[in-house]
């Protein structure tokens, strides 16, 4: 076995150099040593540059922040949300319908930051109590914003939203003070209600994975939307399945040609949960959530 004693300094110094040094005891550092030190500095700079360069990718979300993503209920405004989210995914874990997803590198919204793709799986409040807010350890999701954060005009809900599923309970409201978006009928021309058409069958087809709580089926266990086919004379799926009381209704409206039509109309209590967007049976949904949008009267 080797008897090697380490020379002074770091034993791991890159000792492999073409020529051995002759001046071991020389007082001034040899050219060799200086060169080694210089190389070491270059490597340090290289690694620093590499790490810092990679760290810049951390700023991507700020650049991509323009493409608005739907955040879980109770999310702070985007900048504060990105600052306070610790990326642990506890909100993901408590969601009974797994509506919340964590972003990947290419999503451009911060690695590990949660968002909701309402068309794939909306938040239907089947947890009854906004569990994701309860789970959040850092206050990125809050029932009520701390005093020093401003509330955007129109983001604040006029009243605590009443959950249709809990309507008969002693406490029927959701503990939520701000909306996360607003539903908007963006493609009225395709809307079955406006066309006066009904809908029969699975709202999103047999292969759709999304789930929802149907009170008449099981209060505590969300089932697949595909397992709950519809048969309605006039399509009102978005109104029928909206979990919040008074957020959307079918109203009689006048089309540009003066004819009377039935149309879904969104009202102030809309919290932006996205159930209407998920359930809309038309491909390319007629109604979508505008994430982080506020209520404009």
Nearer to other proteins, 106 or 158 (CB): 106
Nearer to other proteins, 10 or 169 (CB): 10
Residue from 205, 166, 230, 116 nearest 239 by CA: 230
Nearer to other proteins, 76 or 248 (CB): 76
Torsion of CA 166, 181, 210, 160, to 10 degrees: -10
The b/e string for 102-126 (b: 16+ C-beta within 10 A; e otherwise) is bbeeebbbbbebbbbbbbebbbbbb
Nearer to other proteins, 26 or 47 (CB): 47
Which positions lie near other proteins, rule CB under 8 A?
1-6, 8-14, 16, 40-41, 43-44, 47-48, 50-52, 54-55, 57-62, 79-80, 82-90, 92-94, 102, 104-106, 110-112, 135, 137-139, 146, 148-149
The Cα–Cα gap between 170 and 260 comes to: 40
Min CB(141)–other proteins separation in Å: 11
Nearer to other proteins, 104 or 169 (CB): 104
Min CB(17)–other proteins separation in Å: 10
Min CB(10)–other proteins separation in Å: 6
Min CB(34)–other proteins separation in Å: 15
Nearer to other proteins, 81 or 125 (CB): 81
Min CB(271)–other proteins separation in Å: 23
Min CB(45)–other proteins separation in Å: 9
Nearer to other proteins, 138 or 284 (CB): 138
The number of angstroms, rounded, from the C-alpha of 132 to the middle of its chain's C-alpha atoms is: 12
What are the CA-CA distances from residue 262 to residues 118, 190, 192 (Å)?
25, 13, 9
Min CB(177)–other proteins separation in Å: 16
Min CB(47)–other proteins separation in Å: 5
Nearer to other proteins, 12 or 24 (CB): 12
């Amino acid at each position: 076995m080797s008897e090697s004693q380490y020379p002074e300094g770091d034993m791991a110094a890159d000792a492999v150099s073409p020529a051995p040094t002759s001046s071991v005891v020389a007082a001034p550092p040899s050219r060799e040593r200086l060169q080694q030190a210089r190389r070491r500095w270059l490597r340090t700079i290289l690694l620093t540059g590499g790490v810092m360069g990679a760290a810049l990718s951390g700023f991507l979300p700020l650049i991509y922040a323009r493409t608005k993503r739907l955040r879980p209920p109770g999310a702070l405004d985007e900048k504060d949300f990105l600052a306070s989210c610790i990326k642990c995914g506890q909100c993901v874990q408590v969601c009974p319908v797994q509506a919340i997803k964590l972003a990947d590198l290419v999503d451009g919204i911060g690695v590990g930051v949660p968002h909701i793709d309402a068309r794939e799986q909306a938040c239907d409040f089947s947890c009854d109590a906004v569990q994701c807010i309860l789970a959040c350890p850092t206050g990125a999701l809050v029932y009520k914003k701390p005093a020093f954060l401003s509330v955007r005009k129109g983001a604040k809900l006029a009243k605590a939203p009443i959950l249709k599923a809990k309507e008969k309970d002693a406490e029927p409201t959701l503990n939520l003070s701000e909306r996360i978006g607003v539903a908007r009928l963006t493609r009225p021309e395709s809307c079955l209600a406006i066309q006066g058409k009904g809908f029969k069958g699975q709202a999103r087809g047999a292969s759709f994975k999304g789930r929802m709580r149907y009170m008449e089926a099981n209060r505590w266990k969300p089932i697949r939307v595909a397992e709950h086919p519809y048969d309605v004379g006039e399509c009102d799926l978005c109104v029928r399945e909206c979990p919040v009381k008074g957020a959307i209704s079918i109203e009689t409206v006048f089309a540009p040609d003066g004819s009377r039509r039935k149309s879904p109309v969104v009202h102030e209590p809309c919290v932006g949960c996205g159930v209407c967007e998920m359930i809309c049976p038309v491909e390319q949904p007629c109604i979508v959530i505008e994430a982080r949008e506020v209520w404009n009267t």
